[in-house]
Amino acid sequence: MTAELGLAALWLAAALALLQLALAAMALAGREELLNGVRPVAVVQAVLALLAFAVLIRLFVVVDLSVELVALNDASTKPLLYRFAGAWGNHEGSMLMWVAILGLSGACVALLERRLPERTLVATLGTQAAIGLGFYAFLLFASNPFQRLVPAPAEGQGLNPLLQDPGLAFHPPTLYLGYVGLSIAFSFACGALLTRQVDAALARAMRPWVLGAWVFLTLGITAGSYWAYYELGWGGWWFWDPVENASLMPWLAATALLHSVAVLATRDSLRAWTVMLAVVAFSMSMIGTFLVRSGILTSVHAFAVDPRRGAFILVLLALYIGGALALFAARAGTVQEGRTFEPVSREGSLVANNLLLSAILGIVLVGTLYPLLAEAVTGEKLSVGPPYFNAAAGPLALLLVTIMVAGPLLRWRRDRLAALGRRVALPAGLALAALIALLVAAPGVRLLPLLGLVLAAGVALGSLAPLWGRNLRRTPMFTWGMVIGHLGVAVALAGMASESAFTRETLVALAPGQTAQVGPWRIRFDAVEPIAGPNWTALEATLQADRGGAPLLLKPQARFFPSPPTETSEAAIATRWDGQLYTVIGKGDEAGRWQLRLWWKPFVTLIWLGGALIAVGGVLSLLGRVRRERRAAERLAWL
């Protein structure tokens, strides 16, 4: 019975989305009396979508095998956490989660947003409903999560073991929150184009959603990268794989949007450009989802691939993005561009930031699609991978990071280069010192990592410069957010460059009792034992690592999951303040020796620590902005 309740809620939610769209369209067409009806409909739609999603979670937790999706993806032997998270660890469930979050965000806009003109808000909610409607149709007609299975099997088929991991259980929801947040920015942009109200008020309404989405995307990418690092078992943290690129593209667009929204909100400039970026950011989320789901590109992370569903998503994507871009082309010409500024100014640096981020986005997008394009044109297969992306995007990223130091130290509208020079003298000095130290102490580091390390040192100090000479307690929270976010970039850059420059690798076949050396560590291989986990069995090696001081115990495993039959490699990772020791057990041979892969990765953890700092910076900015706006609103109310 429960499954039917979920399906009914889903149909009702879809009907309400249709109603919401119709009401908004009629209200904008002149039936002003309908303006007030849109907000409540958005709220009820959200409640129904959330109800449907809650029903699905319940079906997974109680393992109701009479539902096809549960039978295919769940198993009563799974731990509770994975039965719970299994609800969205599959195509249908994840799409349902997507519309539930979309509905929830629409309800939040409907309940909270008071700054925009009512017509723009209604146009925004109408756009939201249109987006929701497409995904409801997708669920109901092409991916019904509540489909019954007759007869019900005795046991479910389980979840892909690679996905049975706490990090990954919460990775998709995080990314989805980011995507949906960008859909709100998209709706705001379309709403404002429809009512021709592109101004600073729009930017202020959009900003918290962009910031929130950006925080979730940052967390999602950081977590996804760490997951790939420890789960795939090869010590790499970024492969420029199509699926990774698909998650990076919306982040790049959102980062650019975040900064251009700041210009629009503060200086009322870059109006059409900001609207364009808002459209692009969500478009990149949809394109990313499409590339991942359609299986059109070969990826190491492809789990849920289905060309038929790919076609459905492509139609939705063509309608929404094509519609928004056509609206932009027709309306953006009437948008006043706002104020001008001098090249050496805060705005100038933010334009450079947008330019570089957009160029990197273009490189990632075109590089990801180029094999498809080349094969369509010439029939020849082609691969575009790390050598291209590093060479093409790496220098631009380093330039971007350099400008990141200068930007916050420049005044709005106009400034002088000489004055900037004085403000960045200290960070530049530190970077120079780092360069000399590295050339002396570690010769032979390749150019890109070397530049990365040098810049990281300068940028870390430079990102703190906006705080110098200020009363720290009276510094606004969003300034703290910016400083910490930029510091996070420096920290992540330091981790990436250090991993690239200083990683030590040892591949060795050892018999029990033998030792090997990797970096400063002496590794002794003690034994291999079979062990049994809750829903897997494994061969577990025992390693002792020693570099003076107390030895560490590491237990890498080769795991086998019976349902569905899959083999995974569980790396054992020991984290120290100055890096990680990463160990993997491979095959055994007839002589009783086991293949071991050992890595010492100095300061690799800074990559994800930096990612977390960036997200913390985003949260502080968000809180700071919301607080300031609330105070401003209170002052207005007082007057």
Partner 1 sequence: MALKTIRWLLWVPLILFVGFVALVASGLVTPSTHEIRSQLIGKPLPDFALPPALPAKPGLARVELGQGKPRLVNIFASWCVPCATESAQLATLKRAGVEIDGIAIRDRPEDLTRFLGRYGDPYARIGADRDSSVQMALGSSGVPETFVIDGAGVIRLQHVGEIRPEHVAGILAAVEAAK
Partner 2 sequence: MKRAALLLLLTVPGAALADSAMPAAALADTQLPDPAQERQAKALMETLRCLVCQGQSIADSDAELAGDMRALVRRRIAAGEKPEAIREWLVARYGAWVSYQPPLDAVTWPLWALPLLLLVGGAWLARGRFRRRRA
3-state secondary structure 501-520: HHCEEEEEEECCCCEEEECC
CB 343 within 8 A of CB 400: no
**326: contact with partner 1 by CB under 8 A:** yes
SS3 28: helix
Nearby residues of 392 by Cβ (< 8 Å), 6 or more positions away: 363, 367
438 sits near partner 1 (criterion: CB under 8 A): no
Q: What does the per-residue mask of binding to partner 1 show for 359-378, with x meaning CB under 8 A? A: ----------x--xx-xx--
Q: Which of 597, 593, 590, 599 is nearest to 528 (CA)?
A: 593
Tell me if 539 contacts partner 2 by CB under 8 A: yes
Q: What is the b/e burial string over 472-495, where b = at least 16 CB atoms within 10 angstroms of the residue's CB?
A: eeeeebbbbbbbbbbbbbbbbbbb
* Residue 143: Cβ within 10 Å count: 22
Quick check: 273 binds partner 1 (CB under 8 A)?
yes
Report CA 347 to chain centroid distance, whole Å. 26
Interface stretch with partner 2, choices 23-31, 175-183, 386-394, 424-432 (CB under 8 A): 386-394
Using alpha carbons, select from 253, 399, 267 the residue that is nearest to residue 337.
267
Residue 326 CB, shortest distance to partner 1, in Å, is 6
Nearest distance from C-beta of residue 1 to partner 1, angstroms: 38
Taking CB under 8 A as the criterion, the residue among 325, 426, 428, 626 binding partner 1 is 325
d(CA 302, CA 222): 18
In sequence order, what DSSP letters do the residues of 153-204 get, joined into one string?
Answer: PSS-----GGG-SHHHHTHHHHHHHHHHHHHHHHHHHHHHHHHT--SHHHHH
In the region spanning residues 251 to 270, those forming contacts with partner 1, defined by CB under 8 A, are: 270
The angle, 0 to 180 degrees and rounded to 10, between the axes of the packed helices 242-267 and 346-378 is 150
Binding-site partner at residue 34 among partner 2, partner 1, none, CB < 5 to 8 Å by type: none
152: which DSSP letter?
A: P
Report 546-575 residues binding partner 2 (CB under 8 A): 558, 560, 562, 565, 567, 569
Closest distance to partner 2 from the beta carbon of 332 (Å): 13
Residue with Cβ nearer partner 1 (578 or 589): 589
Would you count residue 573 as binding partner 1 (CB under 8 A)?
no
Q: What, of partner 1, partner 2, none, does residue 294 touch, CB below 5 to 8 Å by kind?
A: partner 1
Task: Single out the segment in contact with partner 1 by CB under 8 A; choices: 79-87, 221-229, 319-327, 398-406.
Answer: 319-327
Tally of CB atoms within 10 A around 334: 10
Residue selected from 80, 154, 329, 418 as contacting partner 1 according to rule CB under 8 A:
329
337 or 589: whose CB is closer to partner 1? Answer: 337
374's contact among partner 1, partner 2, none, with CB below 5 to 8 A by partner kind, is partner 2
- The whole-angstrom separation of Cα 547 and Cα 65 is 52
Binding residues (CB under 8 A) for partner 2: these are: 232, 234, 236, 239, 241-242, 269-270, 298-300, 302, 337, 340-344, 347-348, 351, 355-356, 358-359, 362-363, 366-367, 370, 374, 377-378, 380-388, 392-393, 395-396, 414, 505-509, 530, 537-539, 558, 560, 562, 565, 567, 569, 586-590, 595, 597
